[in-house]
Structure 1
């Protein structure tokens, strides 16, 4: 079990983590990193206690969901910092804890992702079909084989515009059943993810992670040379990895809105994730690591926004939108492969798939426009 006596969050307010102290001269050192890691560990333990108090086994209430998000947020920051600043941390300890935090964050994220994906797809279906709301699922889809190209929305062309009003009649026929099918599939996936998360939080593996984080809240294992190391060099290496990954993206193509690149390559019968999305997802992860490094250097997210590249918040939001649309398109594509669905249902799912691939395209355009600007106003954290 987690060592409750090591929980430093007792009698603490919920005002958020304290800022890491800045040494004289402003040079980021290991002491500032240790303070940042201790603050994130404290947030992790506070979120864990709140999650237990709200009774996650009884269902995903708003407080439990907030606690789970806080757990994921602090786990990501600790794991990311262990990766970026591993040169000043005990190597064996960091390499043991980092993948365990990544496992925990990923496990807790799946339930929220399923619900967010369903909400996104149903809202898109409502918009595309021109209906105020889809009917509640009542009947199963009719038994009829779907055409092999149904996932393409019944169109052969690479650039599929959003359906005009004259197409909405045909789309509305299948939208209700498409929505019901997506609701069944993603609700089932969410239920399974919820069960998996509960099992993970009750496992000996999680308790071992919680114990290590509880120790981290009071003791950060640094290397003997850590206090003489300027952390800016390690943070700069993370920024360089991000810059290299961005340079490899097709930003020239992305600079033309609705260029159909994301859609053409998305019209595939392969159920695996689209390979062209992977570099963008990798940039999203590297951008997150860079942002966390800036937080560790400057003591708090607000200070990091001031000191770091002002493009980061908007760029992060564009890449989050890219990830969400890409995964939603994959869910629509998977649903369109369900055996014996009606052609109208397959058509609606195909149009939905194309719409989300257009959203992928739009997110790439937004990232390109943000990244190539010399200065932008700092926004809220992504």
Structure 2
């Protein structure tokens, strides 16, 4: 099938009206219902169906985010009462379903970072499945914030040196750990206990998130959302003038909001390999979110809305469901893709640093454990700075290459 893509930046391109928005929303609602059916079919399956259950939950979140984002960007073309009622419910659903995976991936990121920082060369012996692992490398000493990292992988094992402790003492989890490098002695002493502490805290949080997600999927609130999405799959509540109204001005407004938010970021600071102000706040006893991170998280959300608006502009009004799925994605913009990955990396490192700082506030922990958690926190804040620098590079390339 020949594909025709619409360039959102081309003023001479064919007009895209509210009919294209309706087609896009119907396609996403259909994907939501398909993922929901798959989730119900595999939710009670044994271990063999676990991967399908994870994929179904991810598809549910993906469709919910796209519907919610489109309702936000193109809200003047939709029934206002219906749109304002749907958006927070979809955001609640997406956030609830994503918590379990977030805690699991955060734990993997922190344990792998401890393994790397402690200098252990023992191979991992404890396998973990269906977990997205954040980027890691073998950095020794001071590293530049802009250093590149390899991509993450799934199914990565946890370090044997960081096996959790039982009531009777450490649990053997593989080959013996080699003699640590002398300058990392203090870190290695506390790394195992720090890893065990993080595993207890984040595993408990993940278990609670899993229970919360199961309760949410069985609640009357979720069934009300699913019913509304089912109606959306066949009937989109557009305003009377929407079918003849163009979408490009609303999509351009979303892009402008993103551009303004990026312009307000301290990109010059992000060009330095060491941001002392960021570390000073993170090491303080104040448990509040890092003040520097908020604007970057906001840019990440605005970039996502911009991407979804591009998808809507690429949708073909009046196409069949199969064709709508074919046209649902615009040509991949590698610069936007790189910027989005950098911001995802920024969020993951920021939340991991906060988890390490929270664990360090645990009462009556050993000094070596607190030291290891402090080093881990600083390492993740360096990852934050590296992600900011990577975003800066990607965004500057996008600006230079823009038509």
Q: Give TM class, smaller chain.
A: 0.7 to 0.9
1:234 aligns with 2:223: no
Task: Work out which of the residue numbers 58, 63, 67 in structure 2 matches 1:74.
Answer: 63
Measured in 2, the distance between the counterparts of 1:374 and 1:292 equals 18
Residue of structure 2 in register with 1:122 after alignment: 111
Structure 2 residue runs of 5 or longer lacking an equivalent are 123-158, 170-179, 316-326
Corresponding pairs, count: 336
Residue of structure 2 in register with 1:51 after alignment: 39
Q: What TM-score, normalized to structure 2? A: 0.78
Contact 2:61 2:98 in 1 (8 A): yes
Shift of residue 321, structure 1, vs aligned partner: 0.4
Measured in 2, the distance between the counterparts of 1:302 and 1:85 equals 17
Measured in 1, the distance between the counterparts of 2:387 and 2:299 equals 13
Shift of residue 214, structure 1, vs aligned partner: 0.5
Measured in 1, the distance between the counterparts of 2:57 and 2:274 equals 36
Contact 1:242 1:283 in 2 (8 A): yes
1:305 aligns with 2:305: no
Measured in 2, the distance between the counterparts of 1:374 and 1:216 equals 35
Residue of structure 1 in register with 2:151 after alignment: none
Residue of structure 1 in register with 2:138 after alignment: none
Shift of residue 376, structure 1, vs aligned partner: 8.7
Measured in 2, the distance between the counterparts of 1:375 and 1:246 equals 11
Task: Work out which of the residue numbers 382, 395, 400 in structure 2 matches 1:358.
Answer: 382
Task: Work out which of the residue numbers 281, 293, 297 in structure 2 matches 1:265.
Answer: 281
1:1-382 matches, within 5 Å, as 26-56=14-44, 61-131=50-120, 132=122, 133=159, 134-139=161-166, 165-299=181-315, 300=327, 302-305=329-332, 310-374=334-398
Measured in 1, the distance between the counterparts of 2:35 and 2:400 equals 33
Measured in 1, the distance between the counterparts of 2:382 and 2:117 equals 13
Measured in 1, the distance between the counterparts of 2:257 and 2:59 equals 27
Measured in 2, the distance between the counterparts of 1:19 and 1:37 equals 19
Shift of residue 372, structure 1, vs aligned partner: 1.1
Contact 1:258 1:358 in 2 (8 A): yes
CA RMSD after TM alignment: 2.5
Contact 1:21 1:32 in 2 (8 A): no
Contact 1:97 1:209 in 2 (8 A): yes
Structure 1 residue runs of 5 or longer lacking an equivalent are 1-17, 143-163
Contact 2:162 2:191 in 1 (8 A): no
